[in-house]
Amino acid sequence: MAVESSENPAITEWKSEFGLPEFGRIRDEDFASAFDAAMAAHIAEIEAIAGNAEVPSFANTIDALELAGRDLRRVSALFWHRAGTESTPAIQKLEREVGPALARHSAQVYMNDQLFARIDELHERRTSLGLTPEQVRVLELHHKHFVKEGAKLDDAGKQRLAEVNQRLAALAADFGQNVLADEAGWSLPLTESDIEGLPDSLTAAMAEAARERKVDAPYAVTLARSIATPFLEASSRRDLREKVFKAWTARGDMTGGKMNAPVVAETLKLRREKASLLGYDSFAALRLDGTMAKTPEAVEDLLGAVWPAALKSAGEHQAQLEVLAAEDGINDGLRPWDWRYYSERLREKLYDLDEASLKPYFQLDRMIEAAFDVATRLFGISFRERKDVAGPHPEARVFEVLETDGSLKGIYIGDYFARSTKRSGAWMNLFRKQHKLRGGELPVVFNVMNFAKPSAGKPALLSLDDARTLFHEFGHALHGLLADVTYPSVSGTSVSRDFVELPSQLYEHWLAVPEVLRKHARHSGTGEQIPADLLDKVLAARTFDAGFDAVEYTASALVDIRAHSESGETPSSDPLAFEASILNDLDMPEAITMRHRTPHFLHVYYGDGYAAGYYSYMWSEVLDADAFAAFEETGNPFDPETAARLRSAVYASGNSVPPEDAYKAFRQRLPSPDAMIAKRGLSTAPAAQ
Catalytic residues: 473
Q: How far is CA 255 from CA 180, 198, 616, in A?
A: 11, 30, 31
Rounded CA-CA distance 17/640 in Å is 33
Report the run of H or E that residue 548 belongs to, with start and end.
helix 546-563
Close Cβ partners of 646 (under 8 Å, ≥ 6 residues apart): 378, 627, 630, 666
Buried b (16+ CB within 10 A) or exposed e, 579-592: beebbeebebbebb
How many C-alpha atoms does 340 have within 13 Å on its Cβ side?
20
Residue type, 561: I
Write b or e for each residue in 299-333: b if 16 or more Cβ atoms lie within 10 A of its Cβ, otherwise e: bbebbeebbebbbebbeebbebbbebbeeeebeee
3-state secondary structure of 414: strand
Burial status of residue 140 (CB atoms within 10 A of its CB: 0-12, 13-18, 19 or more) = middle
Whether 451 contacts 460, CB under 8 Å: yes
The helix/strand/coil state of 189 is: strand
Nearest CA among 561, 600, 517, 647 for reference residue 255: 600
Q: Give the separation between CA 439 and CA 665, rounded to whole angstroms.
A: 28
* Mode of pairing for the β-strands spanning 408-417 and 427-432: unpaired
Q: How far from the centroid of its chain's Cα atoms is residue 563's Cα?
A: 20
State the Cα–Cα distance between residues 37 and 44, nearest whole angstrom: 11
Whole-Å CA distances, 168 to 32, 274, 412, 579: 20, 10, 32, 21
The contacts found for 373-380 with CB under 8 angstroms, 24 or more apart, are 373/516, 373/519, 373/520, 374/471, 374/507, 374/510, 374/513, 374/516, 375/474, 375/478, 377/638, 377/643, 378/510, 378/638, 378/643, 378/646, 378/647, 379/478, 379/482, 379/643, 379/647, 379/651, 380/404
Q: Please, what sign has the CA dihedral across residues 213, 216, 219, 224?
A: negative
* Rounded-to-integer distance, Cα 155 and Cα 277, Å: 12
Within a 10 A sphere around the Cβ of 351, how many other Cβ atoms? Answer: 16
Residues 586 and 307: beta-carbon distance below 8 Å: yes
- Report whether 544 contacts 347 (CB < 8 A): yes
Neighbours of 25 (CB within 10 A): 14
The phi, psi pair for 585, rounded to 5°, reads -65, -30
Asked if residue 291 lies in contact with residue 178, where contact means CB atoms within 8 angstroms, the answer is no
